[in-house]
Amino acid sequence: MAVLTILPVEGIPEARPGDDVAALVGDALAAGPGLVDGDVVVVTHKVISKAEGQIVELTDDGPDSHRFLVEQESVRIIRRRGPLVIAQTRHGFICANAGVDRSNAGPARAILLPEDPDRSANRIRTRLAHRFGATIAVVVTDTFGRVWRRGLVDVAIGVAGIAPIDDLRGSTDTYGKVLEVSEVATVDEIAAAADLVMGKATGVPAAVVRGLEWKASSDGIDVLIRPPSEDLFR
Amino acid sequence: MAVLTILPVEGIPEARPGDDVAALVGDALAAGPGLVDGDVVVVTHKVISKAEGQIVELTDDGPDSHRFLVEQESVRIIRRRGPLVIAQTRHGFICANAGVDRSNAGPARAILLPEDPDRSANRIRTRLAHRFGATIAVVVTDTFGRVWRRGLVDVAIGVAGIAPIDDLRGSTDTYGKVLEVSEVATVDEIAAAADLVMGKATGVPAAVVRGLEWKASSDGIDVLIRPPSEDLFR
């Protein structure tokens, strides 16, 4: 089993609406670790959302205009307590505040999720693969809370080129017994691993996971969303 | 920001009741990447459970004796549908089948969680720190499903020496705005990252995360368990 390295991609400037994320990330990669076959490029959604203009100027910095925006971004409210809203976004993600985020946004501003994170991931992948001549995958991340466990972790909200889930069902354990439930959410583990070098406050919005064996796929992130029929919690 | 490396610890033999996990892992480390200051040693709970004798011989390999065992290991059933049980363990974890696992256990056997994963982690940490003369942390992991998202990810169920949560509340974003919600579940991200080199079927039950800056702490894993009062889902 190979050693895995996780490389922060430093020197990516603050993105503005209209910016070309693949160029911003690509320039930083060219000045840093480059890209080689098999690399997975992890990009936090914020740099993408900003470049794609998914920014809302709030009428004020108080809770009301924020709350209004959260309702607007939700297709369904799952739970509500005080200022906390857990909602389903139109992508199908269930998360706090429907992904509306005011940190790292600037004063009286909020950042929304990308309109189609898979599409964003695919664009970045195509451009970077061409520029570096390498077979790569791209994972777009956001930071989610969890039920039952305190603390946030980064998860995948968009993918390009990599199977979101590694389906080991039917393979055998070390005793030759067939594994019963072994769908590993590989891209979520990649997102979490990348966050270890990105952090929340450091302004490093991308990382490269190098040395991982992953399964190529054209699947989108929707395969990671649990269908309501098998979901015990909504 | 430093580069992170994640090193699989290969060559750990199958553990048997009474085995010394710190010795098994330590021997494999000595033959492999060793340990240096700042390393986080990640160990899947199964090797610990087996060494600690947390193995149950089932009367048969069918669902009934398994179901009985799950009930026995549960302090509370959270949800139930068909053969699927989501239960709270006496440690406070909420997971499928109360952590009872039949894969990688051998025929007609099940493996339970360690009685006290923090205590197991602390023992391993003390022994490895002494053997290698290094300041290290230990994280014990299990594989959990998630609400709303398909696929499994590894999470921390025991810790020694490292703060389970990195509390960034009060620190500022790149605009100088105070971060509102920024408790990062660092040890869960470490667990997920380590799983990328361990896999479910490969028989590599430990990994070393090298190059990470982490906060030393004597906290146990209980700080990661969301108190019922702030939990919207039970």
Beta strands in B174-220 (DSSP E): 183-184, 206-210
Whether residue A103 lies within 8 A of chain B, CB to CB, comes out as yes
Q: Do B3 and A5 touch (CB under 8 A)?
A: yes
Distance from CA of A172 to the nearest CA of B (A): 7
Residue type, B199: G
Residue B230, pLDDT score: 79
Whether residue A185 lies within 8 A of chain B, CB to CB, comes out as yes
Mean pLDDT of the B101-127 span: 92
Q: Give the domain ranges of chain A.
A: 5-51+114-225, 55-112
| pLDDT over 90, % of chain A | 75
Q: What is the pTM of this model?
A: 0.95
Chain B, 192 to 231: residues with Cβ < 8 Å from chain A are: 192-193, 195-197, 199-204, 209, 212, 223-226, 231
Residue A134, pLDDT score: 98
Residue type, A72: Q
Mean pLDDT of the A84-111 span: 89
Homologous superfamily of the A55-112 domain (CATH): CofE-like domain (3.90.1660.10)
Whether residue B108 lies within 8 A of chain A, CB to CB, comes out as no
Q: Indicate the pLDDT class of residue A59, thresholds 50, 70 and 90.
A: confident
- For the domain covering B1-53+114-222, report its CATH number: 3.30.1330.100
Contact criterion met (CB below 8 Å) for A109 and A102:
yes
Q: Indicate the pLDDT class of residue B102, thresholds 50, 70 and 90.
A: confident
Whether residue B58 lies within 8 A of chain A, CB to CB, comes out as no
Architecture of domain A5-51+114-225: 2-Layer Sandwich (3.30)
Q: Which residue of A has its CA nearest to B86?
A: A232
pLDDT(A199) > 90: no
Q: Which of A107, A168, A226 sits opposite B150 (nearest CB)?
A: A226
Half-sphere exposure of B82 (CA within 13 A, CB side): 3
pLDDT(A103) > 70: yes
pLDDT(B177) > 80: no
- Residue B101 — φ and ψ, nearest 5°? -130, 135
Residue A214, pLDDT score: 96
Q: Indicate the pLDDT class of residue A174, thresholds 50, 70 and 90.
A: low
Question: Comparing A61-70, A148-157, B71-80, B91-100, which segment has the lowest mean pLDDT?
Answer: A61-70
| pLDDT over 70, % of chain A | 93
Q: Which residue of A has its CA nearest to B148?
A: A226
pLDDT in tens, B189-227: 999 999 999 976 677 999 999 999 999 999 999 999 998
pLDDT(A60) > 80: no
- Return the DSSP state at A223: G
Nearest by Cα to B189 from B230, B223, B139, B233: B139
Asked, colleague to colleague, whether A5-51+114-225 and A55-112 share their fold, the answer is no
pLDDT(A86) > 90: yes
